[in-house]
Amino acid sequence: MADKQLQDLEQKIDQLIELCKELNRENQALKAENAGWLAERQDLIDKNELARSKVEAMINRLRTME
């Protein structure tokens, strides 16, 4: 009976090891995806700020024409 319990325990440990490996791979993929989203977010923030500056400059030029 002890051999059976030991085999069951070994099998469960092997399953846990595989699960940990799978979760680590998934975690790395999610970190990479998150880094991409953060870079895209920063790019959009920069573009938004540039557009805002240009619009403000246009508004100021229009005001000086009045």
> For 10-57, what is each residue's pLDDT tens digit?
999 999 999 999 999 999 999 999 999 999 999 999 999 999 999 999
According to DSSP, residue 62 is labeled: H
Distance between CA atoms of residues 65 and 20, nearest Å: 67
Model pLDDT, residue 66: 78
Torsion, CA 41, CA 43, CA 47, CA 48, rounded to 10: 20
Surface-to-core class of residue 66, CB atoms within 10 Å of its CB (0-12 exposed, 13-18 middle, 19+ buried): exposed
DSSP, res 66? -
